[in-house]
A and B are shown apart, each in its own frame.
Chain A
C-alpha cells in the first residue's frame, strides 16, 4: 500500500483530539451524502415530500374550500401559506423512525467509534431533511400557482415565509430525532409522532380561522406555534401585520432547537 493513500487531508495534531471546523464540515458532507444515497436506493422514501403537497392541496381546496371560505380562490389564499407551515412538520415526522431503525443496524456503532464529532451524524440528517422540505415546499408552491395563488406582497416576502417555515421545520427535525433516540421501536416513534402531530395541525389556524372554535380550543390554537407560523406565512403572502407572529415563530424555533438539539446529541452519545 502506498504512503499517499493513507495521508489524511489534515493531520490530527490537536492533542485533545478535538475536531476542527473544516474537518467537521467534511464529515457532515460525507454523512449527508450517505443520507442522499439512502434516498436514491429507496426512492419511495421521497413520496411524502413529493406527493403530500399535491394531495393535501387538492384535497383541502376542493373538500373544504367552498365550506370554509365560500370560494375556492379565497381558500387557496388562506390555506396554502398554512400548508407551507405544515410541510416541515410532516417531513420531520419520518426522521425519528428513520434514525431509530438506523440504530437497529450496527452503522451507528461504527460512527460512534470514529474520530468525528458525534453531532455530525445528526447535523447531516438535519441538512438532508431541510433539502426534502425545500423540495416539498417547491412542489406545494408550484401547485398553488397552477391553482391560482397570487402573492399580494413581494417575492421577497414569499421567500421570507419559506425561510420561516424551514427554520421551524428544522427545530421539529431535532425534536423528531430526540424522540427517535428516546423510544424503543420505529413503530413507537411513528405512533407518538402521530399523537402529537394531529392535534397540533388541526388545532391550529392552518385549515380554518379559529374564531368559530369553542373557547378552550381557541386558546389552545393561540399558543400553538403552528398557528403563529401559519399566520406569519399567510400575512407574508397576503399582506397584513407580520412582526408579532414572525417573532413568536422565530422564538419557538430557536427555543425548541436549543432544548432538543443538545438533548438529541446527548442521547446519541449515550444510546447503547
Chain B
C-alpha cells in the first residue's frame, strides 16, 4: 500500500510503520493503515494478531516503540490531550463500572465530557433507550449479562459523539440479535459522520460494516483493500456438501468437474465436499450434477469464507496466531457469528 507520510486531513486515522514489541513478541511489527474520514475500516486478524495493541496505540493507552500515527490530524505521541477529545473507545473487555447502575455509568461519562448535569442525564437516557437498556438502567452493571454490558460499553463510548470510534471486537460473544443491534448502531454512527475502526475475527462482520479491510497477522499487514477486492481474492461463498456415503466424495468431485463446476475439494476426514460458488446459477448446477449422478446428500449449506480461509487465500498458509484449542477461534464451526449458514433442504 502506498501511503503518504504527511498527515492527510482526508484520512481520519493514519498509521505509519507502527512497531510495538513486548520482549520477544512483536505485537505490532510495522503496521501501515489509513482510514478515510466517515468510513469504516475493518481490521481483521486471528488471536494475538495485534488488533488490541493497535487500538491501544491509537487511543493513547500505550506508546509505540517506533512509527507514527495520526487521528483526526492529531499526533498520538505529541498531541494525546487533543486526540482524546475526538475519540471514543469500546475495548475488547467491558470497561463499565460494575458497582454503578447503567444510568450512573453513562451520567458519569457525560460529566467527565463536560456536559452539564441536565445534558448528561438527557444524553444518558437517550442512549439507554437506543441500546434497549432503559429497563435495566437503575440496576448495578454487575448484574448485567455479557450482551448488556457490551451495549452499555458501546453507549458509553458514544456519549460524546466522537469523531473517531474504535471498536475492539464489539460483537464477540454476542447472540445474533444483539449483534445486529450493535451493527445497526454502528451504521447509525457512521451515518452521522463518525469514522470507525473496527477489529474483528469475523469476515461477515467486516463485510456488513466496513468499506475496506486490513488483514493483520503477527503484527504485520498481510492484505488490505476494499471488501470487494478482498472477496475477489478469496472468492465468494463456499458450498459444503455432506454425502450419505463418504467414500463417494472423489467420484462426486469428478462428477461436478464433468458438469462444468470446477474447484471442488474433497475432505475425506471431515466427510465434506467444498465447492467455491461464484453465482447462484452454480448452486443449481451442483444440485443437478449430484442428482444426475445419483449421489445421496445428507446436508448442504453455503457460508462466507472464514478468517482461516481468507488467510489461506491471501497468504497460502493458515493464520499464524490461531490457536486450535482456543474457544474463540474464528474457524470454530460452532461459533454462530463465524459463518453465515444458509440451510438447504437435505
Q: A interface vs B, CB < 8 Å?
A: 1-2, 4-10, 12, 15-19, 23, 26-27, 29-31, 33-34, 37-38, 41-42, 105-116, 272
Contacts and interface: CB of A to CB of B under 8 A. Distances in A.
Interface string B76-113: 00010111110101010111111110001000110111
9 contacts: A6-B115, A8-B113, A17-B85, A23-B114, A27-B112, A31-B108, A34-B104, A106-B94, A113-B60
A198 to B, nearest CB: 30
Contacts, number: 109
B61 A41 contact: no
A8 B108 contact: no
Contacts of B79: 17
Contacts of B95: 105-110
A267 to B, nearest CB: 14
B62 interface: yes
A34 B108 contact: yes
A12 B81 CA distance: 11
A115 B123 contact: no
A115 B113 contact: yes
B84 A115 contact: yes
Contact of A112 (B60, B99, B122): B60
Nearest to B127: A1
A9 B110 CA distance: 11
Given A34-B108, A37-B104, A110 B114 contact: no
B60 A115 contact: no
B99 A41 contact: yes
B113 A107 contact: no
Interface string B45-83: 000000000001001111000000000000000010111
A128 B220 CA distance: 46
B119 interface: yes
A23 to B, nearest CB: 6
A41 to B, nearest CB: 4
B100 A6 contact: no
B103 to A, nearest CB: 11
B175 interface: no
B140 interface: yes
Interface of B: 56, 59-62, 79, 81-85, 87, 89, 91, 93-100, 104, 108-109, 111-116, 119, 122-123, 126, 140, 142, 156-157, 160-161
Given A1-B126, A38-B97, A16 B111 contact: no
A109 B92 CA distance: 11
A113 B115 contact: no
B113 A26 contact: no
A232 B84 CA distance: 46
A9 B94 contact: no
Contacts of A33: 108
B89 A110 contact: yes
B100 A38 contact: yes
Give 9 nearest A-B pairs by CB, closest first: A106-B95, A17-B81, A8-B114, A30-B111, A17-B82, A41-B99, A110-B95, A38-B99, A115-B85
Given A6-B161, A34-B100, A115-B84, A109 B91 contact: yes
Contacts of A2: 122
Nearest to A120: B112
Contacts of A27: 111-112
A19 to B, nearest CB: 8
Contacts of B157: 110
B72 to A, nearest CB: 12
Contacts of A30: 108, 111-112
Contacts of A112: 60-61
A115 B140 CA distance: 25
A185 B99 CA distance: 20
B274 to A, nearest CB: 40
A33 B60 CA distance: 26
A248 B119 CA distance: 48
Given A37-B100, A110-B156, A6 B85 contact: no
B169 to A, nearest CB: 13
A2 B161 CA distance: 12
A226 B131 CA distance: 53
Contacts of B62: 272
Contact of A115 (B81, B99, B156): B81
A228 to B, nearest CB: 37
Most chain A beta-carbon contacts within 10 A, residue among B79, B96, B104, B112: B112
Nearest to A112: B61
Nearest to B60: A113
A42 B97 CA distance: 13
Most chain B beta-carbon contacts within 10 A, residue among A5, A34, A109, A111: A5
